[in-house]
Structure 1
Amino acid sequence: MTEKPIIGITMGDPASIGPEIAIKAFLADKVTGVCRPLLVGDAGVLANTAKQLGLPVVVRGVSKVADAKFEPGFIDVLDMKTVDLSALVMGEVSAMAGHAAFEAVRKAIELALAGEVDATVTGPINKKSINDAGHHFAGHTEIYAHYTNTAKYGMLLVEENLKVIHVSTHVSLRQACDLVKKERVLSVIGLLQDGLISLGEKNLKIGVAGLNPHAGDSGLFGTEDDLEILPAVVAARELGYDVDGPVPPDTLFAKAATGHYGGVVAMYHDQGHIPFKLNGFKWNAEKQQMDSVKGVNITMGLPIIRTSVDHGTAFEIAGKGIASADAMILAIGAAVQLVASRTAGRGNNG
């Protein structure tokens, strides 16, 4: 039997719910039973969070992966020493917090590229905090693409029946329309198929969303569907993919939620994220808190594995002890599954 994989997990923004959900995930048997989790971040922040929230763990800072012991009741933290606790204000944007979050991500990427961790999982970051710290990236996906020198990549969201990949993500809506090109759509279809196979999905039927209302309605509401998306779908079929499209988005996502498609291609950020979060985020009006916040974000096309929670920093509840760790637990589970898939693939290739 081989040892359980080492999963490098970034703490996210230290002023957010990131440290809380990371610790809560470490306390879950679903996590410690399948991997050796290593937090990457600031040990002082994690220890302070555990103490303030009464979470029954001991935080142990280490300077390198080899020093981690992965013992029950302890959280091993690759200590970046990037936060001045006296200056940290929970729930507030700050350059210090942004720098700490960024450095944890950069270090996790470095460890994965060096083979010291088998996969990475990222906690939530605040884009303004990171940019205020001088790190000018639109988000995690772009950071990973930059530091792994990856040109073709895609954001894949996973929650039960819905598996959604995006043609574009963190750009303006006007830019997003301009990025709907045959070559990109075809590339993303391929990334989605790879993702579905890696996740063990048996249904490989792919639905491709239209860009315009009614998928353009034969050119009445725009030409991108006929001139860019349809040719990509035709080319994908010629390559052997089982793919429909362009399908009007209001129909596509309703069908996808029933399991009709194994995965779907969204043309831009909100087209995919809105139905996805409606599916996975459940609000309890009586308790005035979330019952569950589910959804995993996987960056496809990278040479390393990266999964993430698909929710934000939730500054409004940071430090209150009510944040759900559901998405973090699911993201770690997905990372473990992807490690197993890659290992099996290497074995099959001799």
Structure 2
Amino acid sequence: MRAVKVLIVDDSAVVRQVLTATLGEDPGIEVIGAASDPVFAMERMRVQWPDVIVLDVEMPRMDGITFLKKLMAEHPTPVVICSTLTEKGAATTMHALAAGAVSIVTKPTLGLKQFLQDSSNDLISAVKVAARSNVRRLVPAGVQQTVPPKLSADAVLPAFTHAMAETTDRVVAIGTSTGGTQALEAVLTSLPRVCPGLVIVQHMPEKFTEAFANRLDSLCKLEVREAKSGDRVIPGRALIAPGGRHMLLKRSGAQYHVEIVDGPPVSRHRPSVDVLFRSVAKCAGRNALGVIMTGMGDDGARGLKELHDVGARTLAQDEETCVVYGMPKEAVKLGAVDRVLPLNDIPAEILRALQGAR
């Protein structure tokens, strides 16, 4: 298959140099240019249009958000945001994801060159995923990379033989990845204040989940927050797992709460959907609704099967409305899904869970 053509847009000459060298090492990627700002980028794109754009968000003449909105309105193209690990950078990146960016690659303010070189596998993977994404739902694989062992949820939470005794409270567990920020916004903004408690894993780097939760909280009728250990899972509240840590559902009597724990990446992710879903299967059993949405890979598929096997209702987003039909596809293949639904129908199913409808 032909190489993925990439254009880099960043005002830092060092970043442009390192990104060009890093991506250029992969035979499945061809860097067709590097521009210091969106104005120069648009001139370059008149000559040759890229398959993927790696974009900074804070630049002179035209900021990345303005460029991204213009791009998505006129010629939708997969964009990977290259953003700094700062509070300001995280908040700005949330606007970029809402405007149609596919995913985030983080960069620190210090030690930039070494960091980008050490994170080359993540960067290459993000570009290749973006190239295969259905970017219109937001408004060719190369050689195999060296990756760490793919661990299962056993690495964080042992398997169980039976679920805890049932209570009457309902819990909705949602797992998503690439394209999930937009999908979650569509679902959560459609829910009323009175809805089941939700626990959510969105694959996202550390520090970005808080900005993401704050953005959703400002848009939604229900309360949305980045989860902390001990937070209660109650109707009208959505808890989002913090980047870089796993989230488990726990139960004390009839009350649910979450525990935030360290541990190795599971299915190559931390937080992992598989870990969350297994804990929900154990603690909530038939009182749970499991939902798996757009995302690359298979994280969450096995966990959803565990939910299904203990009698919980399970849903998957359909291929037509997914940005990347990876995680839902794998769950369907495992026989873990009761119903496959378009994105717009998922909020109604969550509300049915409040009445205990099956």
TM over 0.5: no
Q: Which structure ranks higher in relative contact order (CA pairs < 8 Å, sequence separation ≥ 6)?
A: 1
Compute the TM-score of the two structures, normalised by the length of structure 2: 0.32
Compute the TM-score of the two structures, normalised by the length of structure 1: 0.33
